[in-house]
Amino acid sequence: MFDRLQAVEDRYERLNELLSDPEIVNDSKKLREYSKEQSDINDTVQTYREYKDVREQLNDAKAMLEDKSLDAEMREMVKEEVNELQTSVEDLEARLKLLLIPKDPNDDKNVIFEIRGAAGGDEAALFAGTLYRMYSRYAEAQGWKTEVMDSNPTGLGGYKEIIFMINGKGAYSKLKFENGAHRVQRVPETESGGRIHTSTATVACLPEAEDVEVEIHDKDIRFDAFASSGAGGQSVNTTMSAVRLTHIPTGIVVSCQDEKSQHKNKDKAMKVLRARVYDKFMQEAQAEYDQVRKSAVGTGDRSERIRTYNFPQNRVTDHRIGLTIQKLDQIVEGKLDEIIDALILEDQSSKLENASDE
């Protein structure tokens, strides 16, 4: 581990030199690339330097204990210092192990969410709306911005489908484990007999892809324009402002009609298309990885039922990690930290375990 840490620190120093090189300063691409690399390893390097400093203090304190001339009072003080420094060293070692876990390159990215009502008809669509509001409120609490890309609302206030972006540094790192089927158990507003219904909605959480990460050529896209429509199918816009983009090589289709401007709809659709194409490549790579090792939490299988929201019992259960919380009323208001922190911890623990096996 310490050989790796020393190599990281050496690279950090080399990056310092490169970022002072006039040739690099005048090359915006390399400057951006090296600056990001340095930023990514800065926390690791500073923690490692703190570790070395504390470790040196610990060795000095232990050496003092070997001094036979120390009086009893001073010896006791040094022993206390040794214990405190030993605890600090252990804490820093644990933190360094986490920092050495390979970082997901998508963690700092914005997120494109796709929520669709699945089994359960109108109630599934209402649940999709509940999930959208839950994620929107969580994003607001984080200081992130939410922007609807496309939606297919129902007359009852739900969504057959809603696609939206969450803009904020680190959004994907917090929300990437939301992929999968979410199940709700509650008495629908339309149920007069008071019976509990079970419905589902699917959630896809995609990192926003940059142009440089996935190359999409104009010749590979079929563009169609059409008049947008609202709930129930009635025309809400007689101009051809809605757009449909088809990526011919993969067959991925994206429609967008939320804006009155065709140009804005096309821009939004391209963001979603790029994210879906990038996600397809990611899923294929993940499938290959999973043949070797299955992640404890996972961000891949969208058909997996990951969570149940039981309204009568005010209970949420995340089935992947066996976590049950009796705070559903707070969670649907966007207070997701307890669940998200538990998922991140489980993922980190799994990666640490895998790293120790290698």
Distances (CA, A) of 355 to 48, 292, 296: 19, 14, 14
Q: Please give the Cα distance from 155 to 231 (Å, whole number).
A: 6
In single-letter form, the type of residue at position 91 comes to D
Q: What is the largest CA-CA distance in the chain?
A: 94
Half-sphere exposure of 55 (CA within 13 A, CB side): 11
Please indicate, yes or no, whether the overall pTM of this predicted structure exceeds 0.75. no
The CA-based dihedral angle spanning residues 254, 257, 261, 265, taken in that order and rounded to the nearest 10 degrees: -20
Q: Which residues, including other chains, have CB under 8 Å from residue 336's CB and lie 6 or more apart?
A: 134, 138
Q: Please give the Cα distance from 251 to 245 (Å, whole number).
A: 10
Distances (CA, A) of 132 to 112, 137, 201: 12, 9, 11
User: Which pLDDT does position 354 carry in this prediction?
Assistant: 66
Alpha helices in 67-121 (DSSP H): 72-99
Q: What is the pLDDT along the chain (358 residues), one digit of tens a residue?
A: 778 888 889 998 999 899 998 998 888 888 988 888 888 888 889 999 999 999 999 999 898 888 888 788 888 888 899 999 999 999 998 888 877 877 777 888 899 999 999 887 888 999 999 999 999 999 999 999 999 988 889 888 889 999 999 999 889 999 999 999 999 999 876 666 678 889 999 999 988 887 556 678 888 889 888 877 654 444 455 567 888 899 988 889 888 887 888 888 888 888 888 888 888 887 776 665 454 444 445 544 455 789 999 999 999 999 999 999 999 999 999 999 999 999 988 888 877 776 655 4
Tokens of residue 266, six digits: 């096309």
